[in-house]
Amino acid sequence: MAARRSQRGLTLIELMLAMVAAAIVIGALNSVLMLGFQAQASGREANELVYQGRFALERMSAKARSTAPKRLTAPAPADSTGDWFAPTMYCLKGGSNKRVVETNVSDTSCSGNNVIVEHVIAFSAQLPAGTGAVDRPVGTLSLTLQSGGAPITLTTSVRLGGGVL
């Protein structure tokens, strides 16, 4: 009988099988990590849009509360607050990256450069439906923002001259 040598280490086939198994596990982990990073970036982007939108609506609401009460009988022009908050006006400025700018009411072309929010796909200032004449009129401001993900719509109602809604 031939003496059997004690086997030490791995054969080439065992080593190759271990490397293939490790590559599959690492590839799967890489996919899971990449999905996690993408979800985190998407969530951060959505949170930033909400933050910017809330800031813009709060700024417009503060301006409305500091405006003397007056009747809002006519709707504001499209994509604008018109003369609701005179002498200040907020309007949607076009281009590839639409944004809401704060400008003077006399600036009917919306050429102001004081940007308060970007990535806007819709902006409106409306009177609530079915509201009759009131001493302190209420206006509804709405912003729809989008930057790659799903659109986010934010709305607030504000009473000119302050007061509780």
What's the pLDDT score for residue 6?
67
What's the pLDDT score for residue 21?
96
- Residue 21, in any domain of the structure: yes
- Residue 28, in any domain of the structure: yes
- Residue 65, in any domain of the structure: yes
Domain containing 58: what range? 12-159
- Residue 118, in any domain of the structure: yes
- Residue 47, in any domain of the structure: yes
- Residue 150, in any domain of the structure: yes
Contact 152, 144 (CB under 8 A): yes
Q: Is 151 helix (H, G, I), strand (E, B) or coil?
A: coil
* Distance, CA of 22 to CA of 25 (rounded, Å): 5
- Residue 54, in any domain of the structure: yes
- Residue 41, in any domain of the structure: yes
Can you give the pLDDT of all 165 residues of the chain as single tens digits? 555 666 677 889 999 999 999 999 999 999 999 999 998 988 898 899 999 999 999 999 888 888 877 777 666 778 888 888 888 889 888 877 889 999 888 887 888 888 899 899 989 888 776 655 555 577 888 999 988 888 999 999 888 776 555
What's the pLDDT score for residue 70?
74
* Distance, CA of 114 to CA of 99 (rounded, Å): 10
In the chain, how many domains are there? Answer: 1
* Distance, CA of 14 to CA of 126 (rounded, Å): 73
Q: Is 124 exposed, middle or buried (0-12, 13-18, 19+ CB in 10 A)?
A: middle
